Every structure is written in C-alpha cells, then in structure tokens.
Structure 1
Amino acid sequence: MKTVLITGANKGIGLETAKQLAGLGYFVYLGSRDKQQGLKAVEKLNALGLANVDAVQLDVTNLASVQQARKELEAKLDALNILINNAGIAGHQSQTFRAGDMTNLRQLFETNFFGAVQTTQQFIPLLEKAAHPVIVNVSSEVGSLTMQSSAAKRANWALFSAYGSSKTALNAFTIMLANELKNTAFRVNSVTPGYTATDLNGHQGLKTAAEGARSIVHVATLGDELTTGKFYQDRGEVAW
C-alpha cells in the first residue's frame, strides 16, 4: 500500500485530502501540530469506514517536532510515496508592505515557507526509497506573480500581500527543488486549491474543502508522466 504524509491534516483541506486519498487506497498519515486534534481527525475518518489512516504529531515550524515525526515514520515504513506540504496560516491584517506588521510577515514565512522546506528536507531520504516519490506544495493563486501583476486582480488582492509573498516563495521552492531533483524519479509541483472555505479565511471561500482538495489529490496521484516543476489548479496549469 502506498503511503502519504500530509502536514496540517487535522482539518480543512488537509483533512479532506486525507479522506480522498484514503478512499483511493493510500495509507495516510495525518500530520498535526496538536496530536490530540490529529487523533480526533483519525476518528472522524474511521467513522466513515476509512481504517487506513493514522495521526502523527508534526509542527512544521519546530525542527525537533519534524525530526521526531520522521523517526516515527521511518520506524514504520520502508518508503514514503507522497509528501503533501499543506500546513499554512493566513496571518492577520494589515498585510500591506508599506505598513504591515513584521512579526506577522515572519510568522507567515515561518509556517508557509520555512516549514515546508525543513519538512521536505527531513523526509527526502524516506521519499527516495519510493520508486516514484511525489512532493506537492499547497500554494495559492495569490502567490502567482503573473496574476498579481494583473490589473483586474491587483485591487482585490492588496490585503494579502504578506500571505501572497510567502506563497510566491513556496512556488520558487517548488521550481528550484524540481530543478535539483530533475535527474531523479521525483515529481515536485505546486497546487492551488482555489478560494476554498476553511478556517484560514473564516469560511468565506467559494469552494468546499472537498472541491479544493480534488486538485491536490489529482496532482499527487497522476501517473509518472506528469511534468515536474509546475503550478496547477483544477487540473490546469497556472502561470507563475
């Protein structure tokens, strides 16, 4: 049975992604900053008849926590097939660069960028043991420089400058890691679930968590022909 680790998987898009992948027959580890919340999420999935799930305590901003999670999975698995860097925060307002709070900006990068990088670094050795390892970085369209440069988008997205910049950095990580791993079996891609109603945005999104998770699941489970180093949404490619 192929295995998956999803960070920030105790609720929202992460939990729905876990549900969908478990339904497809993968064994899914739900990474959760709070282990008890992770166990509650596992119970919810068990109640739906999904037994192929487990919780692992994993705070992406805490290296010791990430290392402990890695050791826990190394003791259980021969290989990890898929890593989904889903954990993220939205930060608070104001997020303008002319007056935004620097502490807020640093916290956004600590979770949305540095957390994904250090989690990936720790789990690459276990991923390398899989025949065709996959890394999916859950990004956002507000991280697209092309879309941010659009006059139609600019006014609406001004409030998300700090969050957007952390996702732009995550997209850069996707491209550069894909380039580093281009001569290997790895596939590394960014995916935006779109404007999805979750705790991240006060449930103001236009998509359900189930709808948002579908694009993540699609890219994570495509065959080996999928090009690496790309940015996807709803089964189509997004401009960087």
Structure 2
Amino acid sequence: MKHLLQNIKIGVNEKTFVKDPESSDLGKRIIENSIMMIHELGFEHFTFKKVGAKIGSNESSVYRYFENKHKLLLYLTSWYWGWLEYQLVFTTNSISDSQEKLKSAIKVLTQTVSLDASFSHINEVMLNEIVINEYSKSYLTKEVDEENKEGYFEIYKRLIIRMVEMIIAVDPDYPYPHSLSSTVLEGSLHQYFLKEHFPSLTDCDQHISPTQYLTHLVFNSLNTGDNG
C-alpha cells in the first residue's frame, strides 16, 4: 500500500489554506514543524511566531499559507482523516465478505498508527496524537455550523459514511448505523486519550486495545446471522 500511496496527494478543502503548503518546500517545512511543535507544546501554546523562528523565517511567511492557527488545525486534521480514508479504501476494496470488510475497516480506523514513508514531511504518529488530544478543538467553536456548510469536515463525515455502508451490509435492519459508525471513530480517539491520561476509566491497556473493544462493541450490536 505504501507504494500505491507514493504518488497520491491527500485532498484537503482549499478553504483551510491561503496557499497550498504542498506546493513548496517552505510550505512542507511549515507543516512538518507545526506538527512537531503542536505535539510538543500543545495547541494553546503553539504560535505562528514560534514555528517561523523554528524554520528560520518570519511569522508573516506562515500567514502566507494559513489565515490563522485554527485553519491550520483544520488542515492538519483533515489531512489525517484523508490519509486514513485512503488506507481504508485500499485495505477493504478487495474484501468481498461483508463481516471481514467491516472488521478490517474497524482495524484501520482504530489501530495504533505507524509512520508512513510515503509522506516524508508528515509524522503520522505525532499527527495521530494531535488528533487524539486536539481534534475536538477544531469543531467545538461558535463557527462550527458555518464551517460545516463550507465543507471543512467533509472527509471526516465521509469516513463515517463509508463505515455506515459497511454496517448496513452486515445488518440491513440495524436501526442506528450512523450512531454506531461515529461512535467507532470518536470512541477510538476517546479510548486512546483515556488509556494515556485516565487509565482507571477504561479497560484498554497494554493487553486490550481500542480496536479489540470497538470490534466487540460493533459485532455485539449487529445481527450477523451467526445464531440463526
């Protein structure tokens, strides 16, 4: 799959940026170092001035690519969901059995992330941890409805709909496919957060992964026909 992804560009809503950071070496360095700094400092303490100093440029050069750090966070999280979507499509496309396809999809969307050499300027492990800790800050805003209309969350929503279709393929009569699908995606982030920060509030640990828990949750919610 890594070879297949080498020539793929992750499509992100153009409204998240002023100039496409993928279009220049400077833009890629801004993305690379922003990920590292947000991961290290947290989103609240991250500033364009700090990333400018890190890359040996001035603050204004960062503003040529992103209007503000909220738009940068929207870009980074959208890129992450797009990267996951490509993995989901490539992994499940050739699986004909509906249950196996759903199990594979859950695994792709909830497993521990590894570095992908196809995108050398993006550390997917750090970005995954940013999504776990910071993603909610991209939509818990007064502007969320307007930004939703503008399509900022389109890739995230598309991922959920892909799993909705797989859930329906397994159990067409299940009445809550959208709720279950969004629970898997959000639940994965939440379980990783709890595992790291509030371990007494989750059963996930070094022996039980969020993938195991969420696979159990999904298949115990659906009628798979195994007991008929």
Normalising by structure 2, we get a TM-score of 0.36
**Which of 1 and 2 has greater Rg?**
2
Greater relative contact order, per chain length (Cα 8 Å cut-off, separation 6+): 2
Normalising by structure 1, we get a TM-score of 0.34
